Amino acid sequence: MADRLARALGHGGTVRALAAVTTELVEEARRRHDTAPTATAALGRALTGALLLAGTIKRDERLSLEFSGDGPLRGVLVDATPDGDARGFVLRPATHVPPRAGKLDVGGALGRGVLCVMRVPIAAGTLYRSIVPLESGEIGADLAGYLLNSEQAPAAVGVGVFVDVDGRVVAAGGYLVQGLPGASERVLGAVAEQIERIASPSEMVREGLGASDILRRVVGDDLALLEERGVRFRCRCSRERVAVAILAMGRGEIEAVLAGERRAEVTCEFCTERYVLEEGELRELLGGETGTA
């Protein structure tokens, strides 16, 4: 099943719903960061959650989620755009803790702490930042808690990752359902009951359900599909951005590198892409800096 995200309105436009299949995206993140199973589940849930929340914001913003806890994982940082690009990393990728109730214990790995949500303008604009306590460390409940606190609207967020015995990601996905102004208690109760009955997101993906199929399982047949599009692991890093970052170090730092290693090596935290700028390129940077002084 290809990675997709679907958006819809349900129950006469009083319920907003999004669902995503993210198996390939999460598996690519696992390969890039060589994560252990619990760390894979944490990263995959966070990436999926970021994509779902990014589907609710304006097109000229991107969303960043930072989970910081006192558990062995320490933290997860991800970001996503409304167009379906996502990237991220965990602070301690080798983290793996004993399962709890037969499932990977992401909450135990992350521990107690805070969730920082940022909506970052892509061009000009005001950065929005909100910090809330972690509800459980299980990612989905934490995102639902953030939505309730920040938007004063009840929400349900389910995110899941199924990791095989060999460490590969077999299924990943999630859903977000949020009551909008005008949603009646009857409608919200019906949706809550529906969610109680359905399988977990990763189980639905393993059944072969696509993003729009998951929406129908979650919300029911009273659903108006707005759009469905692809999602992917994609980083914004580039050789040009690395050169700008090195130039920002200042002339003295660059000259020190030239006097020592004679090359600069930079690895992107988000995607592990490695960039090497050789001596000639570093001298060109200094020359460009001199020329613009």
Span 44-91, pLDDT tens digits: 999 999 999 999 998 889 999 999 999 999 999 999 999 999 999 999
Count of positions (residues) in the chain: 293
Its CATH architecture, for the domain 4-233, is 3-Layer(bab) Sandwich (3.55)
Tokens of 180: 């909008």
Strand 113-121 vs strand 128-133: parallel, antiparallel, or unpaired? antiparallel
Where exactly does CATH 3.90.1280.10 map onto the chain? 239-291
- Tell me the C-alpha distance between 52 and 17, whole Å: 9
Domain 239-291 has CATH 3.90.1280.10: yes
Q: List, in sequence order, every beta strand (DSSP E) within the chain.
A: 4-10, 15-21, 61-69, 75-80, 85-90, 113-121, 128-133, 155-163, 169-179, 223-230, 232-233, 264-267, 274-277
- Tell me the C-alpha distance between 4 and 89, whole Å: 21
Amino acid at 87: R
Where exactly does CATH 3.55.30.10 map onto the chain? 4-233
**First CA to last CA across the chain, in angstroms?**
54
What is the percentage of the chain residues whose pLDDT exceeds 90? 82
Tell me the pLDDT tens digit for each residue of 130-184: 999 998 999 999 999 999 888 777 899 999 999 999 999 999 999 999 998 888 8
* Longest Cα separation, the chain: 71
pTM, two decimals, is: 0.93
